[in-house]
Amino acid sequence: MSVGVSLKRFVSLAIGSVDYAKWNSLEITRLRLTLPNLPRAFDGLTLVQVSDLHMGEWMTLSRMQYVADQVNALHPDVIALTGDFVGALRADTPSELSRSLRILRAREGIFGVLGNHDHYTHAPTVRRAIRNAGNVRLLSNENALVERDGQRLYIAGLDDIERKQHDLPQALEGIPHGAAVILLAHEPDYADEVAKTRRVGLQLSGHTHGGQVRVPGIGAPVLPILGRKYPMGLYVVDDLLLYVNRGVGMVSLYLRVNCRPEITHITLTSAS
């Protein structure tokens, strides 16, 4: 057994023993965002973003059930799941993912996109588990429509960018210019390309976990590719709003320092 492996096990055991202080550190970030093209019918719409579950690693069924309960307590109109549903495929991971997602409730729809780890593991299996949940619309370079009083809000979704599975023109196909569009894209740094289209009002991303470990005055020493320019929080990229969620799961080492797991609660307002 190497020293590195021993350290990893020690840290995992230490974190596991307190179980994230029984999840008391899970933060709900509340934002109120104005989208210029949002129809008045959607003024006050609530959207809850959850990202980077990484089922099969630190995230277990019981922990994910707790996350789902916190989401449902917010009574969202829409839920956005921004990728990395699975971190490691164990025998029970697909069924546990399906059971976890099935708990979620949203009045006007639950939408999701895959992330790089979903492709690292086995994307067809992840897709099947999401489909078996029965309540999540997985957007793979496509868009969905939410309607209120004859007015429309579009939710578009990209397949994973790092794995070069994305197709932005296809994801926006059929959406009228000037429509209100929210884009789900796992990797946040792709916002620079999205902003060039001038067709998306809000991009929701994850991927970075905020770095998991943040050093005061320095930030995150380690960030993933396509998550280094926009590591966490709210940004304005030209005319595009971008929010990068820190995720609820973790990758090894299973440790967070100055970087709490996060659920984002967004209230949308109309400019008119």
In this prediction, residue 257 carries a pLDDT of 92
Q: Among residues 272, 270, 271, 204, which one has the least CA distance to residue 237?
A: 204
Mean pLDDT of 242-259: 94
- Residue 176: which residues within 8 A CB-CB, separation 6 or more? none
- Whether 35 maps to a domain, the answer reads yes
Domain that residue 45 falls in: 27-270
- Whether 214 maps to a domain, the answer reads yes
- Whether 7 maps to a domain, the answer reads no
- Whether 22 maps to a domain, the answer reads no
Which of helix, strand or coil describes residue 116? helix
Q: Among residues 193, 167, 195, 192, which one has the least CA distance to residue 181?
A: 195
- Whether 38 maps to a domain, the answer reads yes
* Residue type, position 160, single letter: D
Q: How many domains does the chain have?
A: 1
Residue 229, domain CATH: 3.60.21.10
Q: Over the stretch 61-79, which tens digit does the pLDDT of each residue have?
A: 999 999 999 999 999 999 9
DSSP states along 129-176: HHHHHSS-EE-SSEEEEEEETTEEEEEEEPPPTTTT---HHHHHTTPP
Mean pLDDT of 50-68: 96
Q: Among residues 204, 258, 212, 213, which one has the least CA distance to residue 233?
A: 204
- Whether 12 maps to a domain, the answer reads no
Phi, psi (rounded to 5 degrees) for 221: -65, -30
- Whether 141 maps to a domain, the answer reads yes
Mean pLDDT of 129-153: 97
- Whether 8 maps to a domain, the answer reads no
pTM of the model: 0.92
| Average pLDDT score, the chain | 92
Q: Over the stretch 152-164, which tens digit does the pLDDT of each residue have?
A: 999 999 999 999 9
Distance (Å, whole) CA 118 – CA 21? 28
pLDDT-wise least confident of 15-24, 163-172, 190-199, 221-230: 15-24
Asked whether 38 and 153 are in contact (CB, 8 A), the reply is yes
Q: Taking 90 as the threshold, does the pLDDT of residue 271 lie above it?
A: no
pLDDT band at 211 (very low <50, low <70, confident <90, very high): very high
